[in-house]
Each structure stands twice: as structure tokens, then as C-alpha cells.
Amino acid sequence: MRVKPRPVDFFDIADDFECAFLGSLGFSTRCIQRHTKLTHSQIGYRLKKAAIRRMDYRDGTSDTATAVLKSLRGTLEKDLNRYLKDMDL
């Protein structure tokens, strides 16, 4: 006999919220699986239900992507410059 799936609850179930959070930051399904107990299908269902499109983050069109770029740009530029100098490029 098949077990009835539980309802999705982003506010009371930590794995559901974590799925939405990581998905909104553009993380892969595999990464979300490592941080939650959700299956590949469950992750896809929850992201679709929350209308989260990872591509919006990845292509820089989401508000979250814009905020991350603004807040981390200085730090990331320093790290990248140091890395490129170490690589002798």
C-alpha cells in the first residue's frame, strides 16, 4: 500500500523552507538533496509550487541575484584578483 504524501508547508517544515531558500539562490537539485531529506521529484514540486525559478537567479534577473552581486562584489573581486595573480595569468 502506498503512503500518502504529506502536504507542503514552507513555514512549519524545515526541509520545505530550506528547499525554497536554496532554490531561490540558484542551487542545484543535488545540492538541495544534500541539505534536506527531499527527493529529486519533491524538490521540483516544491520549487514549482513556490514559483521559484532558479534560472532567474543564475541569469541575474531576480532581486536576490542583484542584492548578492551588490553586497559581495568587492570581496569577490579581491579574491578573484588574488587567485588570478597566483595563477600567473
In a domain, 52, yes or no: yes
In a domain, 5, yes or no: no
CA angle 64, 46, 69 (to 5 degrees): 10
Q: 54-57: long-range contacts at Cβ-Cβ below 8 A with a sequence spacing of 24 or more?
A: 54/23, 54/24, 54/26, 54/27, 57/24, 57/25, 57/26
Reference 16, options 51, 46, 49; nearest CA is 46
In a domain, 73, yes or no: yes
In a domain, 4, yes or no: no
Q: Residue 35 corresponds to which amino acid?
A: H
Domain range for residue 22? 14-86
Query: Could you read off the pLDDT of 58-88 as tens digits, one per residue?
Result: 898 888 889 988 999 999 999 999 999 999 8
The pTM for the full model equals: 0.79
Query: Could you read off the pLDDT of 19-72 as tens digits, one per residue?
Result: 999 999 999 999 999 999 999 999 999 999 999 999 888 898 888 889 988 999
